[in-house]
Structure 1
């Protein structure tokens, strides 16, 4: 398909064709990354600005490497040493990087909606810069969900990863759903594929908007492929893939859990718990990981079960695909 999306802010309105375009493009870049020379000139002369107003290791490094693999020039922003400490606004910071020639801006912020607000303002100014949401508050994290999607699809069919492979597959997402922007983006992408997505978390770590979802299919709500459990066992039963999420203690302002030990006892992913799943089950985690809390160390390091290292590898390919598609959209001409 012809890519027309200038910004990637959310997966809520992504079409199946767009998902498949990202998967196919990322698969081609995975092949590039397997070569001795892991670089192509597709964004040569373009400038990618990484504006991370919130701390990040994996996402920021992955986007920077993706831009360099595409031969783009990169500008990296660090909030702690920026003019924000002198009172400059976030929007003025973005305009400064725009004046430096940025063609694409990758934006991460602890407040939901910041990338969207910047995109709206720059669109109103008539600027052709593309904005990519690298995580905004508890809203969404599109690129993480897309690399998770590629990881799962490529596990099923490494040659031709595509959305249709996930129809009727059971995928369990376990952990801190409340504070997870990754979970929200994954819900959009995985249910769009026709997969059965089962969320499992303590009641205190489930968002209020999921209260209407139940364990049985519902026809009176928009998404009948989503199920919610307060216990982990029903979510894991016959699951093809299990994604466990980090407990985001830095965002927990209230006393939401008795203890980490009790959380692991009831919701931690262990070998014994995986016996409930499909025999060929695979485990994912978006990272960073609290070993021994969300998942045991032996599972993390077991390459027969864990796809965590593959998620990191696929992150560069997916972000190359997104930057490439945005950088070459006809709406940027």
Structure 2
């Protein structure tokens, strides 16, 4: 395992498989009465979030605590960052506190890479989402969920639909799924495909109905209106009509196909409520699997040994 996790593209097939296999062990541990492992006792994990996030931050916090690490949650709002403190000074402060791993979510693409390469922090850096660039642990938990339902991903057809332009999830999934042998098709309006998408290891399609018929899994992306400073489609109703997943479209999927969404969802926009809550939806499973995958990432970065059996915590 590498020293940092900055990009899904940095993971070899062996690296990715090691994370997914370790996550499977972590998931089995989570179902036991005693959910904690002593593996990272004495280690400090800092969640350094410059962007609002609930699911990702809580998932990383739960993962670190289940490995018995000490957790510090750092939010830019109400901190010295809001008073103008630089990323460097924040990093040096965390280094002085003895951070062994820093989980970074930042509005600027490349911020985790900067932290990892500037020698401000000795600990491992985990990219929890940077701008519109990448979100590698989301791609790992998505692949883990797919593998649970579809088996090995070699030759699997995965369709990713929606706001690819602003989605760090789409880029990380495209890179990781290609490494794992899957075939990825991006479906979006031309205005919501990024410049340079032709160099990605994917096919592109504008007709959602045609793309669904061969899909083993379909992932709907949130329309990120907070990042849009122009009109990328005529109206929400038109977008939903052309690129939303409803019951009629879901019926075009093969019987074994699954429906995914990285969350949070715009119900009624990119996905209807009946589809999100259907038997084919694995959206809630993705959240559960996210904790196991992030346990595996922290474990492999900070320990690298096989998980020990859970032990009783000492009484206070």
Identify the TM-score tier after normalising by the shorter chain. Answer: over 0.9
Deviation at 1:32, TM superposition (A): 0.7
Note if 1:149 corresponds to 2:143.
yes
1:208 matches 2:195: yes
Q: 2:129 aligns with which of 135, 140, 144?
A: 135
**SS of aligned partner of 1:81:** coil
Correspondence list, 1:85-100, <5 A: 85-100=82-97
Cα-to-partner distance string for 1:242-273 (whole Å, 9 max, x where unaligned): 00000000000111121111111111011211
Q: Secondary structure at the match of 2:45?
A: strand
User: Which one of the candidate residues 58, 68, 73 is aligned to 1:71?
Assistant: 68
In structure 2, the residue matched to 1:172 is 159
2:246 aligned partner: 270
CA contact (8 A) 2:4 2:116 kept: yes
Partner in structure 2 of residue 230 of structure 1: 206
Is the counterpart of residue 317 in structure 1 residue 314 in structure 2?
A: no
Determine whether 1:188 maps to 2:185: no
CA distance in 1, matches of 2:182, 2:69: 36
Whole-angstrom distance in 2 between the partners of 1:16 and 1:86: 43
Distance 2:284 2:34 in 1: 21
Take 1:177 and 1:19, find their aligned partners in 2: how far apart are those partners? 23
Match of 2:35 among 20, 38, 43: 38
Q: CA deviation at 1:86?
A: 2.0
Q: Which residue of 1 aligns with 2:271?
A: 295
Distance 2:231 2:200 in 1: 32
Q: Is the 8 A contact 1:143 1:319 kept in 2?
A: yes
- The answer on whether the counterparts of 1:269 and 1:295 sit within 8 Å (CA) in structure 2 is yes
Shift of residue 222, structure 1, vs aligned partner:
7.6
- The aligned residue for residue 217 of structure 1 is none
Q: Secondary structure at the match of 2:9?
A: coil
- Under a length normalisation based on structure 2, what TM-score does the superposition of the two structures give? 0.94
Number of residue pairs aligned between Structure 1 and Structure 2: 305
* Alpha-carbon separation, structure 2, partners of 1:294 and 1:249: 12
1:97-147 superposed Cα distances (whole Å, 9 cap, x missing partner): 11111100000001100010011112xx6x531000000001100000000
CA distance in 2: counterparts of 1:128 and 1:54, whole angstroms = 23
Residue 329 of structure 1, CA deviation: 4.8
- 1:17 paired to 2:14: yes
Structure 2 CA distance for aligned equivalents of residues 32 and 128 of structure 1: 30
Deviation at 1:275, TM superposition (A): 2.4
CA contact (8 A) 1:238 1:276 kept: no
Q: Does 1:241 align with 2:214?
A: no
- Structure 1 moving runs of 4+ over 6 Å: none
Describe the SS at the equivalent of 2:234: coil
Gaps of 5+ in 2: 306-316
Give the drift of 1:299: 1.1
* 1:233, distance to aligned residue in structure 2 (A): 1.7
Which SS does the other structure have where 1:166 is aligned?
Answer: coil
How much does 1:45 deviate?
Answer: 0.2
Q: CA deviation at 1:54?
A: 0.5
| 8 Å contact kept, 2:8–2:175 | yes
Alpha-carbon separation, structure 1, partners of 2:146 and 2:304? 27
> Deviation at 1:156?
2.7
